[in-house]
Structure 1
Amino acid sequence: MKNPRIAPGAEPQRLPWTAPDGKTCYVVPEVPGVPAGGPAGRQAAAIADIQLTMAEQLVGHALVMLADKACDRAELRYLGRCLTECLTDVVRLARAGVPEVRGRNPAN
Structure 2
Amino acid sequence: MLSTDGLRLLPWSSPEGKPCYVSGDGTGYVSRLADEMESTQLDMSAELLGHAADILADRKTTSAQLRFLAARMAEALRDVLRIAESRGARLPTPPCDDLDNVEDNDEPISERDQ
| Superposition TM-score, scaled by structure 2 size | 0.70
SS at match of 1:57: helix
Are 2:17 and 1:12 aligned?
Answer: no
Q: 4+ runs of 1 displaced by more than 3 Å?
A: none
Cα distance between partner residues in 2 of 1:21 and 1:51: 21
SS at match of 1:97: helix
Q: Cα RMSD (Å) of the superposition?
A: 1.3
Query: Residue 75 of structure 1 aligns with which residue?
Result: 65
SS at match of 1:87: helix
Q: Which has the higher contact order (CA 8 A, sep 6+)?
A: 1
Query: Residue 24 of structure 1 aligns with which residue?
Result: 19
Q: Which moved more, 1:17-26 or 1:49-58?
A: 17-26
Which AA in structure 1 matches 2:15?
P
The alpha carbon displacement at 1:67 in A equals 0.3
Query: Residue 4 of structure 1 aligns with which residue?
Result: none
Query: Residue 103 of structure 1 aligns with which residue?
Result: none
Q: 2:35 is matched with which residue: 26, 39, 45?
A: 45
SS at match of 2:35: helix
| Superposition TM-score, scaled by structure 1 size | 0.74
| Percent of paired sites with the same residue | 38
> What is the number of residues matched between the two proteins?
84
Cα distance between partner residues in 1 of 2:72 and 2:7: 30
